[in-house]
Amino acid sequence: MTMHREPGGERYYYTWAWFEGPDDAAWRVTGHHTDSGEQYRLDWNLAERSLCVTDSLGRTRCHWWDAQGLVTAYRDEAGQMTTFRWSDEERLLLGMTDAQGGKWRYVYDRLGHLTETHDPLGRVEQTQWHPVWHQPETEVDAAGAAWRYEYDERGNLQAVSDPLHQRTVYGYDRHGQVVRITDARGGDKYLQWNEDGQLMRHTDCSGSQTAWFYDERTRLERVTDAESNSTRYSYDGNGHLTEVMFADGRTERYQPDAAGRLVKYTSPAGQITRWQRDGQGRVRRQTDATGRRTAYEYDAYGRLTTLTNENGESYRFRYDVLDRLTEQTDPGGSRRVYGYNALNAVTAVIYGGERGGEIRHGLERDAAGRLTAKITPETRTKYRYDAADRLLEIRRRQHDAAEGGEPEVIRFSYDSAGNLLSEETAQGVLQHRYDVQGNRTETQMPDGRTLRYLYYGSGHLQQINLGRDVIS
């Protein structure tokens, strides 16, 4: 294949050459370009088992692999390296060193199941596997919380127990489809399926039913809710959604182009929004119901470079070699500049005005990518987490605070299932309670008043009370 064309008209071209190496001999792509201007050169070195791809901006990324074709190293366009280590016989991934130098380690059982994942912070997640069905029996997170799974004689998931020992049970039909779910409170939900494996009916714990109906091409045709309200769906000959009619008669209409991409939308009030697209399907212009236009400009690699709003005001965007947004300029000339670390997490945001002067916000992160500190011109805020990445504490201090001055502190606590139990500040403590399904049932406020949450069925929020008052 030397060329193919997408439904929108964009053409993609390829050049090839014959390569012989120590592992194989084959035709390989050496060049690729598109009508819109993307260009790539592929440089193969089979003796070294490497491939480097260079685009028209001069950016180059490289891969190296071993005799079995497994990637051993990757260098991105910024020159950052990620390396991979594999076992000799089973060819299982044993370790990875990320672009920031963080080391990941993986442990397997004799059947090749992943049993331990060690992250750069030394945390460990563990999995035990069923000896017959090769599905997880127990999963333990880095904080020690465990989820347990049971299976029936066919290998279907029969029950799940969470770290609080709340158990959910599943029942199946002869096709292996879930037909009953019994929650930790003992409530049953029922599901009914058609011969194509599509959900036809759902009955919740309160007996309320929702039904789904399909046409002869298995497309969703109608949904009827528990109050017998029906929403209907219509399609064109290519299967693209063209109309949604709601129970009250309101109708939304959609018009796709030949490639199935939305080009016109008509609201229930008759207001029309139109989109003009280029050959790659990118929106170039949006026209709303009043005739106001929003325009979008892109570079050859599909990155948004300019957005011009309905008032003719333009926002401009710039990117680095890894396609990360590095600068945003608004119509008034104000700028935001972004900095990143090797793991692509934002580490700095600089706010600058048209007349000069900058405000810098620094963001510090740990080896797992979690935000550990935020530094502004006025404050330094520190964040602390538990082993399961749950936020435990926020501690903020003014730079000009008096010696020995107390910082602002917010502390959080959780149960083993991850539900937030308390939020503590200098003004007092918020405490939360939950039912066996994990729905929040009470929030006790520092002044002693209590918010109560009332649910029906399988956990649908029905009402919120503050003391004796209904507030929602």
Residues 74-86: pLDDT tens digits? 999 999 999 999 9
Backbone angles phi and psi of 229, in degrees to 5: -85, 130
Q: Is residue 338 part of a domain?
A: no
Is 125 among the domain residues?
A: no
Choose one of 59, 79, 99: the last residue of a domain: 79
Domain final position from 56, 79, 102: 79
Check residue 407 and give its pLDDT. Answer: 92
Q: Which residues pair with 216 in a beta bridge?
A: none
Report if residue 44 sits inside a domain.
yes
Token pair 């049953």: residue: 188
pLDDT digits (tens, 9 = 90+) for 173-195: 999 999 999 999 999 999 999 99
pLDDT of 355 strictly over 70: no
Which residues, 6+ apart, have CB-to-CB distance to 82 below 8 Å?
73, 74, 75, 76, 96, 97, 98, 99
Eight-state DSSP code of residue 146: E
Residue 323 dihedral angles phi and psi, to the nearest 5°: 65, 20
Domain boundary among 22, 53, 79: 79
CA angle 393/397/400 to nearest 5° reads 175
CA dihedral 239, 243, 245, 246 (to 10 degrees): 90
Confidence of residue 406 (pLDDT cuts 50, 70, 90): confident
Interval 88-106: pLDDT, tens: 989 999 999 999 999 999 9
Q: What pLDDT, on a 0 to 100 scale, did the predictor assign at position 404?
A: 63
What proportion of the chain, given as a percentage, has pLDDT over 90? Answer: 89
| pLDDT above 90: residue 402 | no
* Least confident range of 207-216, 261-270, 345-354: 345-354
User: Would you state the structure tokens that stand for residue 454, as one six-digit string?
Assistant: 């009332």
Host domain of residue 452: 419-472
| Separation between Cα atoms, residue 151 and residue 93, nearest integer Å | 28
Cβ–Cβ under 8 Å, residues 213 and 222: yes
pLDDT average, residue stretch 140-155: 98
Two tokens, residue 135: 């599905």
Task: Give the predicted TM-score (pTM) of the model.
Answer: 0.90
Span 147-153, average pLDDT: 98
Give a yes or no: residue 126 inside a domain. Answer: no
List pLDDT tens digits, range 15-51: 999 999 999 999 999 999 999 889 999 999 999 999 9
Instruction: Give the tens place of pLDDT for each residue, 323-351.
Output: 999 999 999 999 999 999 999 999 999 99
Our count of domains for the chain comes to 2
Residue 292 lies in a domain: no
* Nearest CA among 418, 412, 439, 414 for reference residue 147: 418
- 468 lies in some domain: yes
Could you tell me if residue 163 is inside a domain? no
In a domain, 55, yes or no: yes
Burial of 249 (0-12, 13-18, 19+ CB in 10 A): exposed
Q: Is 344 helix (H, G, I), strand (E, B) or coil?
A: coil
Residue type at 285 in one-letter notation: R
The pLDDT mean for the chain works out to 95
Of residues 360, 330, 365, the one with CA closest to residue 348: 360
Please list the residues that pair with 469 across neighbouring strands: 466
pLDDT value at residue 317: 98
Residue among 247, 242, 205, 193 nearest 224 (CA): 247
